[in-house]
Amino acid sequence: MRLYLFEHCSLCLRVRMVAALKRLHLQETVVLEDDSDAMIRLAGKRIVPILVKDDGHPMLESMDMVGYIDGLGDPVLTGPERSEIAGWADRIVPKTVPLTWPRHPLLGLPEFGTVSALDHCVVRKRKQLGDLVELRAQTREQIDALVPELEELDRLIASPFAVNGKLSLDDIRVLPLLRSGAVVKGLR
């Protein structure tokens, strides 16, 4: 199986996480940010992650990929899921995007490995969010708005080893979002 991804993509990390937990080797290909043609050729639209199964068929939804990979052999995501965790994950994304997306182009990631790929990213993000420099200047206010959500998550976590005490889809939802926040200096 081959996974087409962006390194900064939290949805891509979901797939990588379950593969690692299963000790399953995925061939990984980082797609350049401006290589829409490759994504369209593989999936019919601009999207990552794309998991191309051994039979050559692509999968496009990250949680479907997680379920597919976890279903190979004995599953590892056997713990319970809680609606509070899914709700938390849904609420946190709009608060993390203005913090994390303006920083992605500064990270030197392989998806920004050419000038045109980096420019493509900056133009796309600017169209969606506005001025990226101004958003980075608002970091303190954005962190302050995010802290109550992180404190809520802290109260919801049952174990340092798994959100609900045993590995589940909730771990696959939460960890990639927390990892995305790691690019923000001052966010704890």
Look at the block and give the residue holding tokens 């980082």.
30
pLDDT, tens digit, 9 for 90 and up, residues 146-169: 999 999 999 999 999 999 999 999
Tell me, what's the pLDDT at 39? 97
pLDDT in tens, 36-55: 999 999 999 999 999 999 99
CATH classification for the domain delimited by 2-70, as one of 1.10.3720.10, 2.60.120.380, 3.40.30.10, 3.40.640.10: 3.40.30.10
Does the pLDDT of residue 186 top 90, yes or no? Answer: no
Report pTM.
Answer: 0.94
Looking at the structure, give the CATH architecture of the domain made up of residues 83-181. Answer: Up-down Bundle (1.20)
| Structure-block tokens of residue 31 | 């797609």
pLDDT in tens, 65-84: 999 999 999 999 999 999 99
Tell me, what amino acid is at 103? R
Q: 103 and 184 in contact (C-beta within 8 Å)?
A: yes
What is the average per-residue pLDDT within 9-31? 97
